Amino acid sequence: MTRLRVLMKNLFRRGAFEDQIADEVQFHIDSRAADLIRSGMRPDEAGRRARLEFGGSEGWKERMREAGGLGWIDAVRIDLRYALRTLRKSPVFACVAILSLALGIGANTAVFHLVNVVRLRALPVRDPAQLASVRVKDSHAGMGVNSFPADMTYPLFEQVRDHQQALDGLFAWGHGAATIGEGASLRPVRLIWMSGETFGTLGIAAERGRLLTPDDDRRGCGRATAVLSHSLWQSQFGGRDDVIGTTLTIFMLRAEVVGVAPASFFGLEVGRGFDIALPLCASGPSLDARNVWWLSVLGRLKPGWTIDRATAHLDAISSGMFEATVPTGYPQSSVNKYKAFRLEALPAANGISALRRAYDTSLWLLLAMTGAVLLVACANLANLTLARANVRAREFAVRLALGASRGRLARQLLCESLLLSAIGTLAGLGLARTLAAVIVDFVRTSSDPIPLDLNMDGRVFAFAAALGIVTCVLFGFTAARRSAFTNPGVALKADTRSGAGRERFSFQRVLVTLQIAASLVLIVGAMLLVQTFRNLVTLDPGFHTEGVLTAFVNFARLGLPPERRQPFVQEFLERLEALPEVESAATTTNIPLFGSSWTMSVRVAGAPAERRGSSKITFISPGYFRTMRITLLRGREFSTKDDKASTGVAIVNQTFVQQLLNGLDPIGQVFQTGQEPGYPAASYEIVGVVADTKYSRLREDIRPIAFVPAAQHPSPQVGAAIVIRAAGATAAVPRAVQRLAADVDSRLLVAGPSDYETQIRETLVQERLMAALSGFFGQLAMVIAAIGLYGLISYIVSTRQHELGLRVALGATRANVLGLVLRQSLTLVACGLLIGVPAAWLVSRWMTSLVFGVGPRDVRTIAAAMVTLAVVALGAALIPARRAASVDPIIALRVD
């Protein structure tokens, strides 16, 4: 009790306690001196003697503080106050240190924050760790019609649900798009089609009303029910309660709103939100399609089951389930492949995310880069601290001589580092929040708003704190250890100017060398990514995207029978082309570079030997090549005469000719497409050859493509993608097209038109981000390393001033001295580069999947990075070198 009271008193009245200690010690020494004087000693002699008898007052004072019960708390407080005072005395050092730490920690934390949001954070549901997904082992290889994530067909899900025993509450969901509202208030909505067990298994409670239950998801569901997302409820229905019970028209489906999901439930995929959840039973014909892979399946592992055991179980029952769901319309070879599929279970605590798959490598790479930047910054700080410690060697020696313990001195220095780290970390956290938001904004596009919860959680704070501590130890500890173990006698005798021996710089040299090596790695990485972006932007896809717009029309609500659909589209296209704003327009089943793909097996019957392979198949209307400005190399274009009644015709690209025609004259050759559900085997005669074009992605190699007239499509659809070439400015087109659509039929839905070039540029957003960020980090590292080299050389030069002055006095020329100093710098730079090249070589292995149009180990890039870095580093070294060369021997020799 008393102990606590004294401790509290001492703790809270810190100043008084310090004064008390000082007063008591002073009183003792004074009293002793007075007694000595009384016994006949000379006053000055008495004072000296009294102090001597008392012993090292610093040490005793320290032990008094400890005995005062404050122990380390007290010591740390004193150290911190002292550290603050010391830093305030050297504001430039403090600012540089805090700024570099804030930048380094901020960048790291921002990237980690994103990694956490996209990759590490668990779904906001009950017990996410129990969740497991079920999918086809090694994927189903794109068989059938796919949308991502495309793990299962509905018939297959039914089989799994009815036969498996490993998981509880198995549920499936798929994404969809639709519209709500009419006319001017028409608004696109994102749908989740989900089985009735979904909300129950996830353990989510409704915000209002109720969520979907198994009762909502009965085959044929007479009356569809819908659950709104919290954000749609707020934005579209003003958060009103009376929306529950109303009937909503979602495109062609009428559904009763039964509830609102909580705000925390963003859907099942990180980075992909939803507006309305509907039961699977209302999803229409895709429900029974055995070739439409559009569902993801999750469940909770039953108690006692592991992922491995679940996989073994699923594997064992796979054969029967695939047997029972064989899609019709495939040739035997595909059927056999289908029957050989096996299911597996995978942990799914973080959900399933396309965003994650797309950005995984990039995010980890960015984290590695920011980590390297932080290390380079830390090395600089360590060097700065060491340099300061050398300057302060005298101060430390005096304090050691006065009885301060070495541990105490080390603690003092660590305290300074700790203070800097703490301030740097706090500033970095603030910076990270902004930076993360900026990065996400950067990759958000009009078509993909990427809803992410960017609130920082404990994991991010812990990461930042860990960074702070690690940096503190990295740059503070080395310096503290070195300074605290100086020999006071040597340090006091030594002249601070020339006392720092050559070997004392060895550690600093190593640090600068490593900085240069790390910078080289970063710059090589940045250069590769910048080249990748440039290569992609300047890549010629084989068509002109400028002035083109894309749109999607859907006329399902007109209820046209299949035979009337193609004529309807044809007429709509003619009216489109008649608009003054439109130069030409065409439909296509695949707009290039949007990521979608349609592949079929083909067989070329002609002599000398039959060729089998696969080709992309795109159904187009006659104006397509004109609209996209794709050059026809041989033969003819399609005309309106190429229809269902006439023989099948095709126009192929050059790659098709090279890879599948075996040197035959293409015109007049006939190829057959393999049979697929809805697409019976068909023969097409090649009537023309067009120039090669990119297909689904810019990064892909060119594939064989066969274009077929839309009129010969075996099963006419109720929607079409349209490409439009504007006659003038593209901005005028959307309004004109929408007006036309309203004019044709109010039930006609047109999404877009939107600028094609912009959309393509948006597909490169990841590459642009990587180029921008890596470029920024690379330059940052280079600048920091250059500053480090500059600092070290300046410091070495300043300690060698005496020697250099002597050399000049003995007849060395300016050039001699300049060369001397530069040679020293050059050695450091060369060593750094020597270490950096193999490191860059190793690291670039990671980047294979990210680079395009340049090898990950491009020698020219590495050489360019080396030259850049060498020039910058030597430029930085030149400043102190010139200063050294202009040294006046008289002044240099007189100093001391």
Partner 1 sequence: MGQAELLPGTLDLLILKAVSLGPLHGYGVLLRIQQITQGALTIEQGALYPALYRLETQGLLDADWGVSDNNRRARFYRLTAGGRRRLRDHTETWNRTVSAMTAALNAKPEEV
Binding site for partner 1 (CB under 8 A): 1-3, 6-7, 20-21, 23-25, 27-28, 30-32, 34, 53-57, 59-60, 63-64, 66-69
Nearer to partner 1, 32 or 119 (CB): 32
- The CA distance from 164 to 100, in Å, is 56
Residue 665 vs residues 329, 612, 654, 766: alpha-carbon distances, Å: 32, 17, 12, 42
Q: Least distance from C-beta 58 to partner 1, angstroms?
A: 10
Nearer to partner 1, 10 or 195 (CB): 10
**Pairing relation of β-strands 611-620 and 705-709?**
parallel
Nearer to partner 1, 45 or 53 (CB): 53
Q: Least distance from C-beta 5 to partner 1, angstroms?
A: 8
Listing DSSP states for 127-148 in one string gives: SGGGEEEEEETT--TT-SEE-S
Residue 106 vs residues 130, 435, 721: alpha-carbon distances, Å: 34, 8, 44
- The CA distance from 202 to 199, in Å, is 5
For residue 132, the tally of other CB atoms under 10 A from its CB is 25
Nearer to partner 1, 25 or 682 (CB): 25
Nearer to partner 1, 39 or 455 (CB): 39
The number of C-alpha atoms within 13 Å of 178 and in the hemisphere containing its C-beta is 23
Nearer to partner 1, 400 or 652 (CB): 400
- The CA distance from 415 to 311, in Å, is 54
Q: Least distance from C-beta 111 to partner 1, angstroms?
A: 49
Nearer to partner 1, 73 or 95 (CB): 73
Nearer to partner 1, 64 or 556 (CB): 64
Judge whether 778 and 771 are in contact, CB under 8 Å: no
Nearer to partner 1, 401 or 556 (CB): 401
The number of C-alpha atoms within 13 Å of 84 and in the hemisphere containing its C-beta is 7
Nearer to partner 1, 54 or 485 (CB): 54
Taking each helix axis as running N to C, give the angle between helix 2-12 and helix 14-38, from 0 to 180 degrees, rounded to the nearest 10.
90
Q: Least distance from C-beta 78 to partner 1, angstroms?
A: 15
Q: Comparing C-alpha atoms, which of 677, 612, 600 is closest to residue 335? A: 677
Q: Least distance from C-beta 9 to partner 1, angstroms?
A: 10
Judge whether 722 and 621 are in contact, CB under 8 Å: no
Listing DSSP states for 519-535 in one string gives: HHHHHHHHHHHHHHHHH
The number of C-alpha atoms within 13 Å of 34 and in the hemisphere containing its C-beta is 6
Q: Least distance from C-beta 3 to partner 1, angstroms?
A: 6
Q: Least distance from C-beta 843 to partner 1, angstroms?
A: 56
Judge whether 331 and 79 are in contact, CB under 8 Å: no
Q: Least distance from C-beta 403 to partner 1, angstroms?
A: 9
Q: Is 267 left (phi over 0), alpha (psi -120 to 50) or beta?
A: left
- The CA distance from 484 to 700, in Å, is 60
3-state secondary structure 322-338: HHCCCCCCCCHHHHHHH
Q: Least distance from C-beta 46 to partner 1, angstroms?
A: 14
Nearer to partner 1, 38 or 89 (CB): 38
How long, in residues, is the chain?
Answer: 896
Q: Least distance from C-beta 394 to partner 1, angstroms?
A: 24
Q: Least distance from C-beta 56 to partner 1, angstroms?
A: 7
Tokens of 467: 């960074």
Nearer to partner 1, 66 or 685 (CB): 66
Q: Least distance from C-beta 99 to partner 1, angstroms?
A: 42
For residue 2, the tally of other CB atoms under 10 A from its CB is 7
Place of tokens 């030149």: 878
- The CA distance from 624 to 502, in Å, is 75
